[in-house]
Structure 1
Amino acid sequence: MNPQVETAQVIVVGAGPGGSSTAAYLAAHGLDVVLLEKTSFPRDKICGDGLTPRAVKELISLGVPTREEDGWHRTKGLRIIGGGMRLELDWPGNATFPAYGLVRTRMDLDEILARHAVARGARLHELTSVQAPILDRRGHICGVTARVMGPDGRPTGETREYRAPVVVAADGNSSRLSLAMDRPKRDDRPMGVAVRTYYRTPRHDDQYIESWLELWTKGDDGSDVLMPGYGWLFALGDGTCNVGLGILDTAEEFGTFDYRDVMRRWVATMPEEWEISEETQLAPIRGAALPMCFNRQPLYDRGLLLVGDAGGMVNPFNGEGIAEAMEAGRHAAEVIASALARATPGETEAVLQSYTTVMKQSLGGYYMLGKGFATLIGKPEVMRLAVRYGLPRKSLMRLLLKIMANLPQERDGRLDDRVLNALSRMTPAA
């Protein structure tokens, strides 16, 4: 029996923040877009749930309401703890970015964005697991095959085909579609690991997201080793807190220790009055990979564009990926809409090829700066010196917050904005 076939102008695979943003923008541009999601909503993803002002800007651009009465918890800034110091830094609002962040669970956020795409006109198919690309005679992707999944997550035996001249892979770090189109991960880019869980705690309404810069584990010789990463507490405003940690692979010890054990050791040091313990833990500690610095390339080739984790778009400075995925979705939609409006196949292809340039101009130089940063803090002695001598200098830490969250004013900003923008432009994107 032949599979059911559905056609569109664009297929987006994966309904995370990047995929749903892409689909919403494409639909707003008047294009016929199909959004395919292998699970069903609501569904969870491993994440810190914290949205910096850069992500808030993308939500505003997309037209997603973020009222506190609708469950969005607003944050004023970042609290840093380390080296015996406790430092509170407000988000540096400017003409480009708002002076607040948000916290929302991925269980809620992803569904909100997917439903927003549907409201804009996208056709969402849940429980649709994409298996492979369909190629035309040139070797360009022209569609995908998919299994229909049951509510239990198992294949029903039914298969479908979706056909379109342009396909967007927003299917996450493992990105089956990218691999099938010869886009393996690059081993010269940093990678992170994040683990997290939820706790009931009286700290649930904190207005600052919290970052602990000292995470310790045991080395092979039994000595304490300072890890390149941070622990976080992100209050959700609903009686609970997202607690987790992110660690970079630039440390020699990466992959040789139990991340969940590091987290348990860290949580055990927290004050008793916070009530963060095994008794208040609401879910198992779960982990996920954080692909960084465009670790899959090219970002466009043979009809396929990469968005979000599929293209390795996590920020190497702070582990954030939602803002970058949504930004990539916005750029991808603009490029695709412009391409499909061209008169000839050659013109369409030339515009699609520009997606790589657009993304590298937007984030490529910044990512290469972050790659150097990740390499530096992978050395325990550098991390130790940074905590000891950096934290006491509040003006330096304000600048570092702007750098790590990528929050410079785009035009006519202060001196530090102009310097950061210049550094990002001058650093070669690779």
Structure 2
Amino acid sequence: MVVATDDADVIVVGAGPAGAATAYHCARAGLDVLLLEKASFPRDKVCGDGLTPRAVAELVRMAVPIREQDGWIRNKGLRVIGGGHRLELPWPEISSYPSYGLARSRMSLDQLLAEHARAAGAKLHELTNVTGPLRDERTGRVVGVTARPVDVDGRRAGDEVEYRARVVVAADGVSARLATGLGRVKRDDRPMGVAVRTYFRTPRHDDAWMESHLELWAGEPGRSDLMPGYGWIFALGDGTANVGLGSVSSTAAATKVDYKALFAAWMANAPAEWEFTPNNQVGPVRGAALPMGFNRGPLYGNGLLLAGDAAGMVSPFNGEGIAYGLQAGRVAADAIAQGLARGTAAGRERALATYQGRMKDDLGGYYTLGRVFVKLIEHPEVMRLCTRYGLPRPLLMKFVLKLLSDCYEPHGGDVVDRTIAGLARLAPAA
């Protein structure tokens, strides 16, 4: 039985950062927004929980409270460990972004952003599993979605329903079920990352630096087996730290690496003072795929926009996805508001099509550079040379920090900013 239900100007599927940001900005633009989430809050998401200054700037645009008393911990920059070196690299002082990052568990971050969107006027429906697109029989345009209520374990809990809207945004994560249901398959020539993480109660919970381990050793560094991938330790300021490791491949080919076993080997040799012990572990080791470099598209077509992981918006440089999901929500909302204000269908479609153009113009060249970067670091000997001989060079590391964190002035700035911006403009935004 299909039951007609709420109509809206915009339906957003998925209440992660990309979906919540889209819903917030659309609601602020005066649109009637329906935000559908298959889980109930609070709910977990595999992530490093660290936000770069680029992501912080998006939170500021959304007027999200980001004071430490609001549950955040600020960080000064990135501590890099590898090749026998240990460097602390402060976030750059530039006009485009603040000079600090933030950290907060996704368990609370996603709920905060969803509630922020609801406070702006979006209607949030939790425990609503979207099952497919609803299409106009004549034109084939997406005009809504079909969905069914589920319980907290994901089991069906009611009749299938239809939700109709003038525009639908798929922010449904790496599975991208709405997009794949319309034939928008992922590109196998784009990078794919894999990450696993857990939490530990630790004295390091208030570390002022996000820490990245460019080499993972099965035992004593330099005297044991070098394992694939990189590791991180991000303090959350609440008595715990997010600890994880990941790797990236230049293609979407499945990896046969047992990352949980690698994580266990790394933790078995962690310094005792970190207290990364089984007794201090909070929750299981969980893993997730990281779709990178616009691995699915088009970003808009026939009434459906893709945002966040559903569009493969994770950076190939650093595995960052939150900043780009938030940015996509802002840009998508602007295109939607402009489109729905047009007097004709043709005018609406022209405005909606600007979403892909703006996202590709801003990130396409940068992601192309990221694909080149991934192809280089896939070779262990290249990565080893880079860490051993590149880390001690201050100018080179300034360049690397700005490039990897995407925290550079796109217009103007110093010679490093101009170099990165020039490279990104020259790289094809495919």
Q: TM-score range by the shorter chain?
A: over 0.9
- The residue number in structure 2 matching 1:57 is 57
Unmatched segments (≥5 aa) in structure 2: none
- The residue number in structure 1 matching 2:286 is 286
Q: Secondary structure, in 3 states, of the residue corresponding to 1:129? A: strand
Q: Secondary structure, in 3 states, of the residue corresponding to 1:156? A: coil
Where does 1:367-406 land on structure 2 (aligned, <5 Å)?
367-406=367-406
Answer yes or no: is the 8 Å Cα contact 1:196–1:287 preserved in 2: yes
Q: For 2:77 and 2:40, how far apart are their aligned partners in 1?
A: 33
1:167 paired to 2:171: no
Letter of the structure 1 residue corresponding to residue 175 of structure 2: S
Unmatched segments (≥5 aa) in structure 1: none
Going from structure 1 to structure 2, the CA distance change for 1:275 and 1:216 (only over 3 Å counts) comes to: closer
CA-CA distance at 1:224 after TM superposition: 4.2
Letter of the structure 1 residue corresponding to residue 121 of structure 2: G
Letter of the structure 1 residue corresponding to residue 362 of structure 2: S
Going from structure 1 to structure 2, the CA distance change for 1:321 and 1:173 (only over 3 Å counts) comes to: same
CA-CA distance at 1:253 after TM superposition: 11
CA-CA distance at 1:7 after TM superposition: 0.4
**How far does the alpha carbon of each residue in 1:140-182 deviate from its partner, in whole angstroms, 9 at most, with x for none?**
1001000101233311132221101110000000011010111
State the identity as a percent.
58
Where does 1:11-410 land on structure 2 (aligned, <5 Å)?
11-136=11-136, 137-216=138-217, 224=225, 226-227=227-228, 229-250=229-250, 255-410=255-410
**How far does the alpha carbon of each residue in 1:285-305 deviate from its partner, in whole angstroms, 9 at most, with x for none?**
000000000000111111100
Q: For 1:192 and 1:304, how far apart are their aligned partners in 2?
A: 26
Q: Secondary structure, in 3 states, of the residue corresponding to 1:417? A: helix
Q: Secondary structure, in 3 states, of the residue corresponding to 1:284? A: strand
Answer yes or no: is the 8 Å Cα contact 1:308–1:328 preserved in 2: yes
Going from structure 1 to structure 2, the CA distance change for 1:205 and 1:330 (only over 3 Å counts) comes to: same
Answer yes or no: is the 8 Å Cα contact 1:216–1:262 preserved in 2: no
Deviates further, 388-397 or 334-343: 388-397
Going from structure 1 to structure 2, the CA distance change for 1:252 and 1:58 (only over 3 Å counts) comes to: closer
CA-CA distance at 1:329 after TM superposition: 0.7
TM-score with structure 1 setting the length = 0.96
Going from structure 1 to structure 2, the CA distance change for 1:8 and 1:98 (only over 3 Å counts) comes to: same
Q: For 2:355 and 2:276, how far apart are their aligned partners in 1?
A: 45
Q: Secondary structure, in 3 states, of the residue corresponding to 1:161? A: strand
Q: For 2:74 and 2:328, how far apart are their aligned partners in 1?
A: 24
Q: For 2:85 and 2:388, how far apart are their aligned partners in 1?
A: 9
Going from structure 1 to structure 2, the CA distance change for 1:81 and 1:302 (only over 3 Å counts) comes to: same
Answer yes or no: is the 8 Å Cα contact 1:184–1:296 preserved in 2: yes
TM-score with structure 2 setting the length = 0.96
CA RMSD in angstroms, aligned pairs only: 1.7
CA-CA distance at 1:2 after TM superposition: 3.6
Deviates further, 77-86 or 364-373: 77-86
CA-CA distance at 1:394 after TM superposition: 2.4
Q: Secondary structure, in 3 states, of the residue corresponding to 1:326? A: helix
Q: For 2:255 and 2:408, how far apart are their aligned partners in 1?
A: 34
Task: Count matched residues.
Answer: 425
Answer yes or no: is the 8 Å Cα contact 1:12–1:23 preserved in 2: yes
Q: Secondary structure, in 3 states, of the residue corresponding to 2:280? A: coil
Answer yes or no: is the 8 Å Cα contact 2:44–2:106 preserved in 1: yes
CA-CA distance at 1:234 after TM superposition: 0.3
Answer yes or no: is the 8 Å Cα contact 2:192–2:251 preserved in 1: no
**How far does the alpha carbon of each residue in 1:321-375 deviate from its partner, in whole angstroms, 9 at most, with x for none?**
0000000111100111111111100111111122111110010000000000001
**How far does the alpha carbon of each residue in 1:247-278 deviate from its partner, in whole angstroms, 9 at most, with x for none?**
11249997222101111111122211111121
Q: Secondary structure, in 3 states, of the residue corresponding to 2:273? A: helix
Answer yes or no: is the 8 Å Cα contact 1:76–1:90 preserved in 2: yes
Q: For 1:29 and 1:271, how far apart are their aligned partners in 2?
A: 51
Answer yes or no: is the 8 Å Cα contact 2:250–2:371 preserved in 1: no
Answer yes or no: is the 8 Å Cα contact 1:196–1:245 preserved in 2: yes
Q: For 2:421 and 2:240, how far apart are their aligned partners in 1?
A: 37
Answer yes or no: is the 8 Å Cα contact 2:211–2:234 preserved in 1: yes
Answer yes or no: is the 8 Å Cα contact 2:149–2:158 preserved in 1: yes
CA-CA distance at 1:108 after TM superposition: 0.5
Q: For 1:112 and 1:270, how far apart are their aligned partners in 2?
A: 33
Going from structure 1 to structure 2, the CA distance change for 1:425 and 1:374 (only over 3 Å counts) comes to: same
Q: Secondary structure, in 3 states, of the residue corresponding to 1:19? A: helix
Q: For 2:415 and 2:395, how far apart are their aligned partners in 1?
A: 13
